[in-house]
A and B are shown apart, each in its own frame.
Chain A
Amino acid sequence: MGLSKKAAIVGVDESDEIGICEGKTSLALHAEAARNALRDAGIDKSEVDFVATAGPSVMQICEYLGIQPSYMDGTSVGGSSFVIQVEHAVAAINAGLANVALITHGEMGYSARRGTASRGIDPRRFMDPELPSVQFEMPYGTGGPPSVYSLACMRHMHEYGTTHEQLAEIAVASRKWAQLNPKAFMREPMSIDDVLSSRWIAYPFHLYDCCLVTDAGGACVIIGADRARDLPKKPVWVLGSGEATTHTSMVNNPDLTQTPARYSGKRAFEMAGLTPKDIDVVEVYDSFTYTALVTIEELGFCEKGEGGPFLSKQRSAPGGDFPMNTNGGGLSYTHPGMYGMFLIIEAARQLRGECGERQVPDAKTALVNGTGGSLSTTGTLILGVD
C-alpha cells in the first residue's frame, strides 16, 4: 500500500569520529558520513541523483560534495528533517524522478558551544525580530529546548501524574544500552538516584533528563526495490512512513501533552499494514526523557498518559521486553543538535544484525520516530527486513 517496500535503506554510517571532533567542520562531517554510507552501500558517488540535508542549504552540500543531482530536498524541520527526507526520497524514487538518494547530516554541537567551531546552522535565523517567537516568547526568557520542552513535560505530569522517577527510568535504560555501544559518548554506570540528584536545568528536568550536545555526522543511502537486493548489505525496506506538523513554538502546540507523532505514526502503521505489537525495535527521538515517553504514547505503544508506568522497571533497557533507543540514544550515545539521522542508522544496523553486544535478537521490524522543533514536527518510519 502506498510507498510500502518501494525502496530500501542500503547504506548507513556515522562520520569517522563522533563525540568530540576537534579540528573538523560541520561540512567535513557531512562528507565523511556521506563517503562512509556510500561505501557501506557499495555505491559510487557518481550514481547519486537525489541529495537531501538540513542545516546548511542543500545546494551548499551538493557543491561541497561535488554532486549535481536532479532532485533535491532541503526540508529543514529540526531533528525530524532526515527522517522525513527518507519518505521524500522513497516518493521520488517511486515516481521515477530519482534513482539513488543520499541524505547527509553534520553538526559540531559540542565544539560550537566551546567556540572552537561553528555548529553548521546559523543561529541568527532564529533571531529575526519579526518572528512571532522573538516577539512573544523570547522576552520571557525562553531560549534553548530545555526551556520549552519542560513546559510540555509539566503539563503531562499535571494531567497524568507522570513522575520524575518514571522519567529517570528512561535515562538509566538508555545508559545501559550505551554501555554496550563502543561509540557512545557517556558509558559510565548511572542509577535512578544519580538522575534524581543531578542539578536542575529547567524544572521539571534534571541534567540527566536532557540529551547530550556532541559533534557528529551521519548519512544514509536509499535505492529502489529493483536494485536493493543486488547490493552487499541486506536491504532495510521502508514499509511505512508518515510526517506531520502541528505548530512551531511550544506555546502554540494545540495540546501540550501531545505531539504530531499521533498523525505521522498512524499513517506509517497504516501504510505498513502493521500495529505497534508487530515492532521488534523502537528508535525514538530522546532530546529529553520526556520526549521519548510522550512519543511512545502518541505512537500507540500504550494508552495515552500511561507512558510513565509503561516504561518503568527498566522495560526499555537491554533484556527488557521493549527495546528502545538501543544505541544509547541522544541521552547517552550522541546528540549533535538534530539527532534524527542516528535513529535511522541504528534501526538499520539492528535489522541487519550488526549490533554485537547490543543486538536485539531476531529483530525483523523497527520503528523510527524523529521529532523536530518544540515537539513540532515528526517523521515516522517503519522498517523491515526479509
Chain B
Amino acid sequence: MTAPQRPIPHPTPETQRYWDGCKQHELWVPFCLSCQQHFFYPRRFCPSCFGWDIEWRRASGRGKLYTYSIQYRPQAPGFTPPYVTAIVQLDEGPRMMTNLVGIEPDPDKIHCDMSVEVDFLDLSDEVSLPVFKPARS
C-alpha cells in the first residue's frame, strides 16, 4: 500500500513560469516594471498599481519567517502531524505560504523573523515545491 499523495499544484498559463522555475530548483517571482516591486502570487498584472508591464525575475531564495504554526491534525493527505506551516517574507518583499523544514516542530526552536532559505521538494517528475529551511549561518 502506498502512502496517500500530497496535493500537487496544477500550473495555469499565468503561473507556468513560476512552476517551470521551481522544476529547475529556482525561485522566480513576477516583478512590476511600473511600480518597481515584486509581487506574489503570479498574475499577468501588478495587483498594486494594476500595471500590466511585468517581467519574471529570479529571487535570491532568502527571506524571513514572518509567522508559522504547528499542525497537529492532518489537514491534507500525505502530511504526518506535527508539521510546520509557515509564511515567509522573501528578501524581495512578497510573502508566500510554505512549510518550514529541517527543524524540529518545536516552538522553543522556531522563531518569527528567523532567517530562512529556499529548498525544493520534488512532488512528481513535473512539479517541485519550494519549501524553506533555517538559513545557514
CB within 8 Å of B: which residues of A?
A: 129-130, 132, 134-144, 146-148, 150-155, 158, 199-205, 249-252, 256
Q: Are B99 and A141 in contact (CB under 8 A)?
A: yes
Q: Are B69 and A150 in contact (CB under 8 A)?
A: yes
User: In the complex, which of the residues B7, B70, B111 contacts A139, with contact meaning CB atoms closer than 8 Å?
Assistant: B7
Sample (5) of A-B pairs whose CB atoms are under 8 Å apart: A129-B9, A141-B76, A202-B85, A203-B69, A251-B96
Q: Are B85 and A139 in contact (CB under 8 A)?
A: no
Q: Are B87 and A202 in contact (CB under 8 A)?
A: no
The verdict on A141 contacting B79 (CB below 8 Å), with A135-B10, A151-B87, A158-B112 known, is yes
Question: Which residues of A sit under 8 angstroms from B45, Cβ to Cβ?
Answer: none
Q: Are B71 and A202 in contact (CB under 8 A)?
A: yes
B93-132 interface with A by 8 A CB criterion: 95-99, 107, 111-113, 123, 129, 131
Q: How far is the CA of A136 from the CA of B10 in the complex (A)?
A: 10
Question: Which residues of B sit under 8 angstroms from A137, Cβ to Cβ?
Answer: 97
Q: Are A204 and B69 in contact (CB under 8 A)?
A: yes
Question: Which residues of A sit under 8 angstroms from B82, Cβ to Cβ?
Answer: 200, 203
Return the chain A residue nearest B83 by Cβ. A141
Interface of B is mostly: loop
Question: Which residues of A sit under 8 angstroms from B12, Cβ to Cβ?
Answer: 130, 135
Most central of B11, B82, B97, B112 by chain A CB within 10 Å: B97
Give the interface residue-count category, chain B: 35 or more
The verdict on A139 contacting B9 (CB below 8 Å), with A132-B41, A200-B72 known, is yes
Q: Are B15 and A154 in contact (CB under 8 A)?
A: no
The verdict on A251 contacting B87 (CB below 8 Å), with A136-B97, A147-B71 known, is yes
Q: Are A203 and B107 in contact (CB under 8 A)?
A: yes
Q: Are A141 and B73 in contact (CB under 8 A)?
A: no
Asked if B137 is an interface residue, CB under 8 A from chain A, the answer is: no
Q: Are B95 and A142 in contact (CB under 8 A)?
A: no
Return the chain A residue nearest B112 by Cβ. A158
Question: Which residues of A sit under 8 angstroms from B11, Cβ to Cβ?
Answer: 135
The verdict on A251 contacting B95 (CB below 8 Å), with A135-B10, A155-B112 known, is yes
Name the distance in Å between A287's Cβ and chain B's nearest Cβ: 15
Q: Are B87 and A256 in contact (CB under 8 A)?
A: yes
Closest 7 CB pairs of A and B: A143-B75, A150-B69, A203-B70, A158-B112, A155-B67, A141-B79, A129-B10
Asked if B6 is an interface residue, CB under 8 A from chain A, the answer is: yes
Q: How far is the CA of A154 from the CA of B71 in the complex (A)?
A: 13
Q: How far is the CA of A132 from the CA of B11 in the complex (A)?
A: 10
Question: Which residues of B sit under 8 angstroms from A148, Cβ to Cβ?
Answer: 69, 85
Most central of A129, A135, A205 by chain B CB within 10 Å: A135
